[in-house]
Amino acid sequence: MKIECVGPPFTYRWPTGEVRLVPGHPVELPEGRVARLLEKAPGRVRVVESADRIDVDLIGCVVMWDSPLFGLLRAAVLEDLQHGVRVFHPLTEMECVIPTTWLRP
Q: Is residue 50 within 8 Å of residue 103, measured between CB atoms?
A: no
Query: In the chain, which stretches have pLDDT less than 50?
Result: 50-55
Short-list 16, 21, 20, 43, CA closest to 32 = 16
Q: Is residue 104 within 8 Å of residue 58, measured between CB atoms?
A: no
In this prediction, residue 56 carries a pLDDT of: 60
pTM: 0.48
* CATH fold label, 62-104: SH3 type barrels. (2.30.30)
Output the CA torsion sign for 7, 61, 104, 21: negative
Domain ranges of the chain: 2-48, 62-104
Secondary structure tally for the chain: helices H, strands E: 1, 10
Q: Is residue 26 within 8 Å of residue 4, measured between CB atoms?
A: yes
Q: Is residue 35 within 8 Å of residue 73, measured between CB atoms?
A: no
